[in-house]
A and B are shown apart, each in its own frame.
Chain A
Amino acid sequence: AQSVTQLDSHVSVSEGTPVLLRCNYSSSYSPSLFWYVQHPNKGLQLLLKYTSAATLVKGINGFEAEFKKSETSFHLTKPSAHMSDAAEYFCVVSEIQAGTALIFGKGTTLSVSS
């Protein structure tokens, strides 16, 4: 069975400082992993995806994530936070081979202060 754990419910950073949002997963197969972002009162937007190609994945808006099988992690990072990055972030796991639906983490709220 697959599951995903976002280790921090809330992360606060200052503008211009690095961002780290942590995610651990559990999967019986080779998983696919995604990060989605949800800005206030908006829908979810795909930030980046890992589907068994390169382990370092680059996404939109300067975000990237690294798939580490030995640590079962898929942490999201950004070198320098911007005010517009303030949003809810969801780590998501899928077992494409099993044809299952996506399993969402509980989300991490990112706050960015000036």
Chain B
Amino acid sequence: DTAVSQTPKYLVTQMGNDKSIKCEQNLGHDTMYWYKQDSKKFLKIMFSYNNKELIINETVPNRFSPKSPDKAHLNLHINSLELGDSAVYFCASSQETGWWQFFGPGTRLTVL
């Protein structure tokens, strides 16, 4: 059973489009995260939700909007995609904020 799953695994789209990435965890964790990994492998946190409430919102363009319908799901919606949005996006979860995290397999987003 996959602990943290993401869909889709690959996403290729044109500039200006809107797309969503879904994330689900079956670990019963209270906190979920979205990270962006750039081409140099640098990982940067974007958002964190604890029990469906936003607790971390780093400097991210407001074209990115996370949504947490329940504490097992954290989706990421991106409006008006730009070339610079091309990256691998990872979802993660932890029992509590600041604890070690379990990561999903990643979604490779390519904007053409």
Contact = CB atoms under 8 A, between A and B. Distances in A.
Interface string B33-56: 100000011111100100000001
Interface of A: 32, 34, 36, 38, 42-46, 49, 88, 90, 94-102, 104, 106-107, 109
B98 to A, nearest CB: 4
Contacts of B42: 104, 106-107
Given A32-B99, A99-B97, A107-B43, 19 more contacts: A34-B100, A43-B90, A43-B103, A43-B104, A46-B101, A49-B100, A94-B99, A95-B98, A96-B99, A99-B98, A101-B45, A101-B48, A102-B98, A102-B101, A104-B44, A106-B40, A106-B41, A106-B42, A109-B41
Contacts of B40: 106
A74 to B, nearest CB: 14
Contact of A32 (B43, B44, B98, B103): B98
A101 B106 contact: no
A109 B101 CA distance: 21
Given A42-B105, A90-B43, A104-B43, A98 B100 contact: no
Contacts of A106: 40-42
A101 B41 contact: no
A88 B43 CA distance: 12
Contact of A101 (B4, B97, B102): B97
29 contacts: A32-B99, A34-B100, A38-B41, A43-B104, A43-B105, A43-B106, A44-B43, A44-B92, A44-B103, A45-B103, A46-B100, A88-B41, A94-B100, A96-B98, A96-B99, A99-B98, A101-B33, A101-B45, A101-B56, A101-B97, A101-B98, A102-B100, A102-B101, A104-B44, A106-B40, A106-B42, A107-B42, A107-B43, A109-B41
